[in-house]
A and B are shown apart, each in its own frame.
Chain A
């Protein structure tokens, strides 16, 4: 990606993204490699906030990232980054930060040299670039080692160098492919924090990760791909709500499950209860929102004590397994 930007020269900073145009727009995009379909008729628009990109291996995530990075051209359909086609035009890249999964950094450079050099490609003067680079390296906690060669870095440190260089030019759109790999919990929490805050500031962040718990902590806005197709897009809970074939459950921990269960059976939205084990009650419903609205009152009126409430399958893992048929 970096060589592309170098070839078209540093951006002068005059180009600005048009505000009413979405950061990322795909319109009926398909990509095939010979007989293999990488992406199959995908249309989506992402603008502002943090979006998680999920799907099993081979779902099309890396194809999508390569298309967004301008490395691949779609076989069909249009792609627009801030309204421009990334294949012909390197201009949007001055406002984009990209952390790719592959590990090709310039091992002979020190971290500072690397980030400074790439910052210069964005049009900063030598001194400005150096200040920005130091700032961003301190931010990812590489200040102590910024004058060491990247070739000597551990995986987590290399990861943080990549993130630093993606953030150095204060980008509007940030694409992160497995950004938290190899990071220790402190670095991970810091980066997750930053991602959330960037989203709150109005930037557009797209994050892809295999570790669903990480995505769940970062954002509720997700895009799910499988076999190159778009399966679902939007808020995680709304998606769950739409999976009618899988009715909702509410799990309660209580010392009187059967008695409490009887109380709930009288509610019109409840179609079943069951008792998986001692002290646990599962309530089945088609209308989660309505039931939850009445839940506190029912419990209080019943007089029984409840020590835990949960929606056992309102999480990414269950959604993915329902949508992809339970397997990779």
Chain B
């Protein structure tokens, strides 16, 4: 087990009675920024709890920053920072005091904790607001304060759970830039659990994806992507004619409304598209290589696993017909 991995697990299993939350998970997370993905219920929270040493594991073991998760939980928790998804701050306290207290709880002595709290609140952009009570803060400021609480002791590994939840554009951008900075300039590692694939792509270069407690994929984002290279175009006017022209020229075209994707066979595809557009009188408002995003990757993976994107047809099937369904006994005897 080398020390270039911040997190390693070996056939980690955690079950609650018959329900298996983590199923033979063997992860290797390197230093740097890694995204933790997975549909709801995939076991991400359980995994975080086991990594923090908060719950026992059924079998297997793991190490975080070299410490054993089964026996050295306290050491782990003093070396990592955790940014929870839900609210976790005392609204009646001023930001500076909440952050200082969270540092004291790790074992910092009160003077260092207070001094660091000032530093860290300035770092997250709350220098002018640090004496205000948390109940007066906007969501962006609350998230920044939570971040401050988690980095006060300069942890080597920061685990964040949905860091941009509920933030508006500006606050979100600031949060992501700050996280990037902590990894880049600060040289720390980050494990970011998020549903917003754009955020993960911006901040992380590697991902780990779970589903039903199992590891589905891990590695660098570019290494995982091998989806067909396509050129995407947005067409205003004469789209059907353009589509026909392209097909006649031997190109493979998919289309939804005015968005089309053309399979890129070689470099001449671009000029071919523009020529066909000139011929058919279509306007090419947009043309670029369609870089499959992390979200595309996620969906392709889920579709590979048998889950598909549903449509409204499935929602509004034929109306309810009472004869089909037998209500269970508890619903039958009076309501």
Contacts and interface: CB of A to CB of B under 8 A. Distances in A.
A–B contact (CB under 8 angstroms): yes
Contact of A57 (B162, B168, B312): B168
Given A139-B314, A185-B195, A210 B169 contact: yes
A328 interface: yes
Nearest to A132: B320
Nearest to B307: A186
Nearest to A211: B196
A123 interface: no
B275 A300 contact: yes
Interface stretch (B3-11, B53-61, B150-158, B287-295): B287-295
Contacts of A126: 327, 331, 335
Contact of A127 (B38, B195, B320): B320
B275 A189 contact: no
A197 interface: yes
A295 B283 contact: yes
A186 B299 contact: yes
Contact of B315 (A127, A139, A154, A320): A139
A227 interface: no
A94 to B, nearest CB: 16
A189 B86 CA distance: 24
B309 A186 contact: yes
Nearest to A112: B331
Contacts, number: 160
Contacts of B317: 135
User: Which among A154, A194, A311 has the highest number of chain B CB atoms within 10 Å?
Assistant: A194
B241 to A, nearest CB: 12
B136 interface: no
B166 interface: yes
Interface in B284-335: 284-289, 295, 298-299, 302, 307, 309-317, 320-322, 324-325, 327, 331, 335
B91 interface: no
A320 B168 CA distance: 13
Contact of A296 (B274, B298, B320, B331): B274
Contact of A311 (B40, B196, B285, B289): B285
Contact of A193 (B166, B167, B312): B312
Residues of B in contact with A, size category: 35 or more
B169 A186 contact: no
Interface residues of A, number: 63
Nearest to A288: B285
B123 interface: no
B165 interface: yes
Contact of A198 (B39, B198, B237, B312): B312
B195 A310 contact: no
Contacts of B284: 292, 295-296, 309
A157 B320 contact: no
B299 A185 contact: yes
A218 to B, nearest CB: 13
Contacts of B248: none
A231 interface: no
A56 B138 CA distance: 12
Contacts of A310: 286-288
B278 to A, nearest CB: 4
B45 A154 contact: yes
A296 B236 CA distance: 12
B277 interface: yes
Contacts of A320: 169
B197 interface: yes
Nearest to A184: B39
A127 B325 CA distance: 7
B172 interface: yes
A117 B315 CA distance: 19
A15 B147 CA distance: 51
B41 A296 contact: no
Interface string A195-223: 00110010000000011110000000000
Contacts of A297: 278
A305 interface: yes
B327 A194 contact: no
Interface of A: 56-57, 124-132, 134-136, 139, 141, 145, 154-157, 167, 170, 178, 181-190, 193-194, 197-198, 201, 210-213, 253, 289, 292-293, 295-297, 299-300, 305-311, 314, 317, 320, 328
Complex A-B, nearest 9 residue pairs according to Cβ-Cβ distance, in ascending order: A296-B278, A131-B320, A296-B277, A197-B312, A127-B322, A128-B320, A156-B40, A309-B287, A292-B283
17 contacts: A125-B322, A131-B320, A139-B315, A167-B315, A178-B166, A184-B37, A184-B38, A185-B195, A185-B298, A186-B298, A186-B299, A293-B237, A296-B283, A299-B278, A307-B270, A308-B289, A328-B168
